[in-house]
Structure 1
């Protein structure tokens, strides 16, 4: 079972990001665009995992949820990328807002998962939502030359994060599908 831990996005935000993907499609010759139902913010990728380990993962993630508070996020004003050649490996939009709380949550998750033998990423955590992969831009300098407000990313709504999820990644009928295995509600520590 291929697992990861992530943050589901509110329906309104998914709709806004999907519109952003559609605008981006007009700027490319080709690329792979995740289904709008698969747009999310990854906290940790666990990879192929035996089903008999899920109970332990859930137990430790429940302890993480109990000591982390809800928080607010919004999006950065410009698109970013991993890989600077054309085609670009990943085009993403980054998040901003209560980053200290997000980073505390992500660090807590990674620490608890290390107890179960899941390694931490060697690269630093860079919170983002992937909009497209293997993107061949019509204008190879497009990402460098984005016009202010061209995609109205700054207009995307601020949103509340009050839970995170353990998700499975499966291929069904040739398409990648993410399914929720378990949801973990963040506890408002100010009201305990």
Structure 2
């Protein structure tokens, strides 16, 4: 069974800029720059017929291309930090694309996504990282100022059946107009 998710690709030059933020945080497992992406909808472990249905419904999406801006660094997990992320500025076009994906996944029989959509790029997954170390890391690093890039497609990706997923494989590419 494939473990699938839909995402926006991060261009190589943006990934390179973000990769310079790696290191200096005990307990961090840094993502490979080639695996950087913005998850739109986690689909999960599904059978092949459902994967084909998802591919077909995603291919029917006709939305406008738009720009994405990375606005800074943050962490997920509060008192028990679990990830270092690059925040993505929410925009109407991004939210509309994500909502369309959610509706189509539900129509294909998937359970509703329970987490609120928070656009971001995961830079590191944390294991037993001290909240103080995370705060120090965030205080001494800053994402390159306002990185923007054009988005003219989204992708369907697969991940290994393991915690953290990568390396990721692009299974399908869907153009935006």
> The TM-score by the shorter chain falls in which range?
0.7 to 0.9
Scaled by the length of structure 2, what TM-score is found? 0.88
- Runs of 4+ in structure 1 deviating by more than 3 angstroms, as ranges, are 137-141
Q: Deviations over 1:50-95 (max 9, x none)?
A: 112222111110111x2x1000011113x21211235x21111111
- Select 2:69's aligned residue among 65, 74, 77: 74
Task: Work out whether 1:83 is the aligned partner of 2:80.
Answer: no
1:63 aligned partner: 60
Aligned length: 173
Select 1:93's aligned residue among 68, 71, 86.
86
CA RMSD of aligned residues (A): 2.3
What's the CA shift for 1:154? 4.4
Matching residue of 1:134: 126
CA contact (8 A) 1:171 1:177 kept: no
Q: Report what 2:95 is aligned to.
A: 103
Secondary structure of the 1:29 match is: coil
SS at match of 1:120: coil
Q: State the Cα distance separating 1:102 from its structure 2 match.
A: 0.2
Distance in 1, matches of 2:131 and 2:109, equals 43
Which one is further off, 31-40 or 128-137?
A: 128-137
Counterparts of 1:1-192 in structure 2 under 5 Å? Answer: 1-20=2-21, 22=22, 25-26=23-24, 28-64=25-61, 66=62, 68-77=63-72, 79-85=73-79, 88-96=81-89, 99-134=91-126, 136-137=129-130, 139-140=132-133, 142=135, 146=139, 150-151=141-142, 153-170=143-160, 176-187=166-177
Give the TM-score normalised by the residue count of structure 1. Answer: 0.81
**What runs of 5+ residues in structure 2 fail to find an aligned partner?**
none
Contact 1:93 1:131 in 2 (8 A): yes
CA distance in 1, matches of 2:122, 2:98: 17
Cα distance in structure 1, aligned partners of 2:54 and 2:19:
31
When you count strand as a share of all residues, which structure comes out higher? 1
Which residues of structure 1 form unaligned runs of 5+? 188-192
